[in-house]
Amino acid sequence: MKIALSQLATAALTLLIFSGCASVSVKESRFTEQKYPLRTPSIIFVRPFVFAPGALRVDRSGEDLRKFESIVAAQMANRLVELLGTSVAPARLATLTERIRGKNIWVVEGQFDRLNQGSRALRSVVGFGLGGTKMETTALVYSLDKKGQQTLLARIQTTGGSNAVPGAVLSGPVVAVPRLIFTAATTGVSSDSKRTARMITAALSEQLSKAGAPLPAPALRPKRPQVTEQPPQIPIDPDY
């Protein structure tokens, strides 16, 4: 009996891991037409993302809110540096005001358009969208010349957050504990920023690969929202 319960718990945890609790996708990616083919930059500078007016929906204010903004912006910047450096080109952090010059250099900056902190307790215990997070961003990618003049290369918008999956209450006694642990570890603003950074990186990796530019790792493919195909429209006979 103990063996059977252990096997069932293992199976339940495996199911949770492969079903996933959160997802971020590229809502739109636009690349400007260039005079010359797109090429891999020699280095990428990443500035911290800023927050659009009214973007934040969190349970904080005052100094606590400012610390939260600083932490979230730093998480996104650090993850972009890490992922871009692995999949696109060497990358490093830059401040919002740092002046950057050089040949074949990219700068990535952007903003959080929407950030809903949600409630981890509700996500873990109840689920089905209750307490879900939401993160939407717009990333801008520029190329620089020797004089520091910027040319817009790309505009990438992402969207995502926690999915509407069942929480521990409705998962049954065997699955409840693994569900609580898994949801706590894989949902929230921190996890959303990591997935968002990966999607921004993937959009750039994919475009460079299409242009035939060399990459330090196999090209990534961003996740995009599924578009439901609309049924063909049947004309209505006005005399019917």
What's the CATH code of the domain at 80? Answer: 3.40.50
**150 in a structural domain:** yes
pLDDT range class, residue 179, cuts 50, 70, 90? very low
106 touches 142 (CB < 8 A): yes
Read off the pLDDT of each residue in 100-123 and give the average, rounded to a whole number.
82
Q: Is the pLDDT of residue 168 over 70?
A: no
171 in a domain, yes or no? no
Q: CA 162, CA 187: separation in Å to the nearest integer?
A: 6
Candidates 228, 219, 205; CA nearest to 29 is 205
Q: Which is higher by pLDDT, 146 or 115?
A: 115
Please tell me the predicted confidence (pLDDT) of residue 163. Answer: 59
The pLDDT score that the predictor gives to residue 216 is 97
- Position 234 pLDDT exceeds 60: no
Domain count, the chain: 1
Give the bridge partners for 91, in sequence order: 44
What average pLDDT does this structure show over 157-174? 62
Q: What's the pLDDT at 51?
A: 96
Query: Tokens standing for 219?
Result: 């090209």
HSE, side-chain direction, 13 A CA sphere, residue 90: 4
Whether residue 138 lies inside any domain: the answer is: yes
Q: Is residue 67 part of a domain?
A: yes
CB-CB contact of 179 with 168 (8 Å): yes
**Strand ranges, E, within 185-236:** none
Provide the CB-side half-sphere exposure for 81 (13 A, CA): 15
Contacts of 226 (CB under 8 A, 6+ apart): none
Q: How many CB atoms lie within 10 A of CB 191?
A: 19
Whether residue 50 is contained in a domain is answered as yes
Question: Domain span at residue 150?
Answer: 26-120+129-163+196-210
Residue 91 lies in a domain: yes
Over 80: is that where the pLDDT of 180 sits?
Answer: no
Q: Of residues 50 and 233, which shows the higher confidence score?
A: 50
Tell me, yes or no, whether 57 lies in a domain: yes
| Beta-bridge partners for 115 | 56, 135
Q: Give the pLDDT score at 226.
A: 75
29 or 189, which is more confident: 29
Identity of residue 120: R
Read off the pLDDT of each residue in 15-30 and give the average, rounded to a whole number. Answer: 69
| pLDDT > 90? residue 205 | yes
Average pLDDT of span 74-102: 95
Phi-psi region of 62 (alpha: psi -120 to 50; beta: other; left: phi over 0): left
DSSP annotation of 204 reads H
Tokens, residue 5: 């319960």
pLDDT > 70 fraction of the chain, expressed in percent and rounded:
69
Whether residue 103 is contained in a domain is answered as yes
Average pLDDT, the chain: 78
